[in-house]
Amino acid sequence: MDGYRKYRDNNSNDSRSSPNSSRGPPSYRDDGGRKELFGDAPQRGPSSRGGGRSNASRYYDEDEDGEPYANSRFAQQEEEEEVQGIKQQIGFVKQESLQSTRNAVAKIREAEDAAGNTLNMLGTQTQQLANIDRNLDLAKEHSDRAASKTSELKQLNRSIFIPVFKNPFTKKSREREEVAAVARDTAEHSQERQNIRKYEYESQQRMDQVQKKNERAGSNSGSRSQSDRDRYQFEADAADDAVEDELDQNLDYIGDATARLKNMALAMNQELDSQNQTLDKVTKKVDPLNERIAITSSRLNKIK
């Protein structure tokens, strides 16, 4: 216990006698102690270089050659990498656009083929309706003749048992009425055949007009001007010019094909309207013809 007190008293005396004892060992606080600890190493701090700048600030402001960073080769390399990235992005967008136009061209070609086939089918259907109308008109003509012959046959059959005497004074008037009836029937059938031919002619005219309009739609397309192309070209080269040419061709084709589809759609609409009118007319012809045939057949069955 006495030894500990002696050690403490000695330490307290040393601390009171040395003013720098609270800051560490005195041998390391003066210049001599620093030199002994660090050797000849230069002192580091804000004042180690001119202007009060640290090494870190000089690294960001200047390169190793002492030039400003904005004009150094590192900045130029970053700019080149950024430019290359923009060029790649433009190339990717152009390739995506080119593929989209290729897909659109393929789809619109399929639509054109389908529209052309539909238009041809409508033309064939028009011919079939015209033939049906023509055959109905011919059937009506034969039905009228059969009804007339049936009436004549009935009179002849009855005259065998009961003689029929006609008024001789009205013979000329009866002949005139018969001639007028024949002329009326002939004119009616002739007008009907003319209407059928007109219907076929108008249908063919619509087909020809569509063909001519589609040919004109394909000849009106034009490429973009060079100034328009320069707006979407970063560095024009052969490959980029080829992409731009194909884009122009695809877009022109899509525009022309859209115009052709519009012409075919309008023609199909007109053709369907005309066919609907013909169908209504044919329907109105069928019912009276069936009724007349049934009556004539019934009259023939009663003749014995």
User: Residue 275: pLDDT above 90?
Assistant: yes
Query: What does the block give as tokens for 240?
Result: 């980029």
**Dihedral angle sign, alpha carbons of residues 289, 295, 298, 303:** negative
Q: What is the mean pLDDT of residues 207-233?
A: 71
pLDDT band for position 226 (cuts 50, 70, 90): low
Cα-Cα end-to-end distance for the chain: 167
Range with lowest mean pLDDT among 53-67, 151-165, 214-228, 263-277: 53-67
Between CA 17 and CA 19 the distance in angstroms is 7
Phi-psi region of 66 (alpha: psi -120 to 50; beta: other; left: phi over 0): left
Q: What percent of the chain has pLDDT over 70?
A: 65
Per-residue pLDDT, 115: 94
Listed by start position, the domains of the chain span 79-161+194-302
Containing H/E element for 43?
Answer: none
Q: Once rounded to an integer, what is the mean pLDDT over residues 242-256?
A: 87
**In the 8-state DSSP scheme, what is residue 50?**
G
- pLDDT score recorded for residue 58: 43
Q: Is the pTM of this model over 0.75?
A: no
The answer on pLDDT for 109 being more than 70 is yes
- What is the predicted pLDDT for the residue at 18? 45
Alpha carbon distance 145, 151 (integer Å): 10
Mean of pLDDT over the chain: 75
Asked if residue 196 has pLDDT above 70, the reply is yes
Q: What is the mean pLDDT of residues 79-84?
A: 77
Say how far apart CA 120 and CA 268 lie, in whole Å. Answer: 10
